[in-house]
């Protein structure tokens, strides 16, 4: 079977998110909705019109990520489906798909609930997106060591472990400094955070950590491209059950015309309903 172009999924994610952030950042800065120095990612997609692009692109990205994570889950599951000695990798694979799905859900929440509208849900979405993403990177790094050399080489496993460590440090450091910066802030608009507003150093560390953490997630997606080139995905099978309806109900329906009756007879015959 010829490999399909499923590798385009992680590649699309790798392109979509940086492109979205760059576009919304430029629009937000040009319209004066945020300052060019060290905004949070969400700050670049809070106000219209950039919020429209931000929300639509992140919703699409969340779907592409979920689809990519499912393909990754099935990739490992297929390799180890008939190997009872590989129960640990199977459990890791299932756990990774669950937390990865939660991370994709968090991205969608961030996209649809701006920080200026429903802050509590926006923060919950961000924690799900980044926290779930960090957990996913760790689980995938462990999976990559266990699947070496069957699925990936050892260099890829080392790279994914490095990305997990970087993302963890940035997530923890960014969360702590964000709380400190918020308590020290005395300005009027946190989306236009100036050095004189208080908590500037912690704000810089927090925003830089967020951008680096997001970059780590994006690079991980790029590492899947080469592995996905050997995968094939077929259209799902759809099965129709018509046993609950009798042949007479089909053949003598007052709504059926002669053409459709012939079609129905052929269908019923294929399901062993003929005389």
Could you write out the DSSP letters of every residue in 62-83? HHHHHHHHHHHHHHHHHHTTT-
Cis peptide before 12 (omega within 30 of 0): no
pLDDT digits (tens, 9 = 90+) for 191-204: 888 888 888 999 99
State the pLDDT at residue 85: 59
pTM score = 0.84
> Does residue 13 sit in helix, strand or coil?
helix
pLDDT digits (tens, 9 = 90+) for 136-179: 999 999 999 988 888 889 999 999 999 999 999 999 999 999 99
State the pLDDT at residue 1: 42
With beta carbons less than 8 A apart as the criterion, state whether 157 and 107 touch. Answer: no
DSSP state of 237: P
pLDDT band at 247 (very low <50, low <70, confident <90, very high): low
pLDDT digits (tens, 9 = 90+) for 90-100: 899 999 999 99
What CA–CA distance (Å, rounded) separates 110 from 115? Answer: 8
The distance between the two most distant Cα atoms of the chain, rounded to a whole number of Å, is 88
**How does the average pLDDT of the chain come out, rounded?**
86
With the C-alpha atoms ordered 75, 60, 112, 214, is the resulting torsion angle positive or negative? positive
Q: Is the pLDDT of residue 275 over 50?
A: no
* H/E stretch holding 126: helix 119-146
Listed by start position, the domains of the chain span 7-229
Residues in the chain: 275
DSSP state of 113: S
pLDDT digits (tens, 9 = 90+) for 14-65: 999 999 999 999 999 999 998 888 999 999 988 889 999 999 999 999 999 9
State the pLDDT at residue 243: 61
């Amino acid at each position: 079977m010829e490999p399909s172009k499923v590798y385009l999924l992680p590649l699309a994610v790798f392109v979509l998110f940086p492109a979205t952030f760059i576009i919304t950042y430029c629009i937000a800065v040009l319209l004066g909705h945020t300052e060019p120095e060290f905004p949070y990612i969400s700050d670049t997609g809070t106000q219209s019109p950039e919020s429209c692009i931000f929300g639509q692109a992140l919703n699409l990205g969340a779907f592409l990520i979920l689809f990519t994570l499912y393909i990754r889950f099935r990739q490992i599951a297929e390799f180890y489906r008939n190997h009872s000695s590989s129960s640990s990798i199977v459990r890791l694979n299932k756990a990774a798909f669950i937390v990865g799905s939660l991370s994709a859900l968090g991205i969608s929440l961030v996209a649809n609930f701006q920080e200026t509208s429903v802050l509590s849900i926006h923060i919950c979405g961000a924690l799900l997106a980044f926290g779930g993403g960090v957990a996913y990177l760790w689980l995938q790094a462990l999976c990559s060591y266990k699947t070496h050399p069957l699925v990936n080489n050892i260099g890829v496993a080392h790279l994914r472990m490095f990305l997990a460590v970087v993302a963890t440090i940035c997530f923890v450091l960014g969360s702590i400094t964000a709380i400190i910066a918020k308590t020290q802030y005395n300005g009027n608009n946190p989306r236009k955070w100036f050095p004189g507003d208080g908590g500037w150093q912690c704000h810089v560390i927090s925003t830089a950590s967020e951008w680096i953490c997001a970059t780590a997630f994006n690079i991980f997606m790029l590492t899947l491209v080469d592995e996905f080139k050997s995968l094939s995905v077929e259209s799902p099978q759809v099965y129709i059950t018509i046993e609950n309806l009798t042949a007479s109900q089909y053949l003598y329906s007052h709504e059926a015309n002669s053409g459709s009756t012939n079609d129905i007879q052929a269908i019923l015959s294929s399901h062993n309903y003929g005389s």
